[in-house]
Amino acid sequence: MRAIVAAAAGGPEVLELRTLPDPVPDPDQVLVKVAAAGVNFIDTYRRSGQYPMTFPHVVGSEGAGVVVAVGDQVTSLAVGDRVAWAQSAGSYAELQPVAARQAVRVPGTVDDRTAAATMLQGLTAHYLATSTVSLSPGDEVLVHAAAGGVGLLLTQLATIRGARVIATVGTTAKETLAREAGAAEVVRYTELDDLTEDLPALVHALTDGRGVDAVYDGVGAATFDASLASLRPRGTLVLFGAASGQVPPVDPQRLNAAGSVYLTRPNLTDYVATRDELVTRTDNLFSLVAGGPLEVRVGATYPLADAADAHRALESRQTTGKVLVLP
């Protein structure tokens, strides 16, 4: 099979297209012919060495495709089943072994590319809006990078749950996407003289001086201070990514000074800790996609061989919606 391998820690240039032996599924795995693999910031963190990894390794953790073989212990899936997954290392490949407990069936109403695009970012948006902070009508939230993969889904899910979304974006085109996703207000941060000072002032002006109930921050270092200052007393700052770099250590007294606010750094693994929770979340997402309220936007697709270009586009924040590589 062909696969994309990170030969060593570094930039996108370390990604190599290699021919590897076809994998054989373990007894508890299924082997999937990959139709589409998701490109996510966590792939870039692992490729760069920002997250500890063994090198060389096949990149990627998310995808969708058709089961072509099953391990001896697998009874829940069969050859020919269409499945998707969010946390199975090595998905930038033509064939991918996936633990049966991590693979979910894809309904006939959802195509492969949409399924791949729904998994990691969709599950992330789902737990952020329903569990990390359980949004309800009347809540007001700030969503950074609202035209990105998670941002568009999170903005929609928050709106579906009745929350009012204030979005940040970088361009006029991204503002259009954020408004189409349901954002009530959109701030183009590129037009602010001082993000740390100006954004909280705008947010408070847009919320009658109160600030927001929650900030969803997947940007990290560049936005953290502004996010903290945008909260109302006892609000929650949800730091779920670091597109601009990791946030330096934080003095807990800052949370006191900001109004007894909460800070959390969630990750997907803890919100799909059981098979039942994984299936419940994906079933809900797929039903929202098939039923129409939730639109999964695939912003760009790349051939497998061009995975490095996909990483460059993602890291330069040139993308909107989901980025996929297609084996």
Distance in angstroms (rounded) separating the CA atoms of residues 241 and 222? 11
pLDDT for residue 287: 97
Task: Tell me if 223 sits within 8 A of 216, measured CB to CB.
Answer: no
Residue of 216, 217, 181, 188 lying closest to 299 (CA atoms): 181
d(CA 147, CA 152): 5
Predicted local confidence at residue 276, as pLDDT: 97
pLDDT for 318: 84
pLDDT for the residue 274: 96
Handedness of CA 299, 240, 292, 37 (dihedral sign): positive
Strands (E), 104-184: 104-105, 140-143, 164-169
Query: Cβ neighbours of residue 188 under 8 Å, at least 6 residues apart?
Result: 168, 169, 170, 171, 172, 175
For the question of whether the overall pTM of this predicted structure is more than 0.75, the answer is yes
Instruction: Write out residues in the chain with pLDDT < 70, as ranges.
Output: none
Q: Nearest Cα to 142, choosing from 175, 164, 172?
A: 164
Task: Please state, in angstroms and rounded to a whole number, the distance separating the CA atoms of residues 263 and 276.
Answer: 27
Q: What is the CA radius of gyration of the chain?
A: 20
Rounded CA-CA distance 221/107 in Å is: 39
pLDDT of residue 115: 97
List, for residues 102-157, the tens digit of each pLDDT value.
999 999 999 999 999 999 999 999 999 999 999 999 999 999 999 999 999 999 99
Predicted local distance difference test score (pLDDT) of residue 243: 87
Q: What is the DSSP pairing of strand 185-188 with strand 164-169?
A: parallel
Tokens of 24: 């054989």
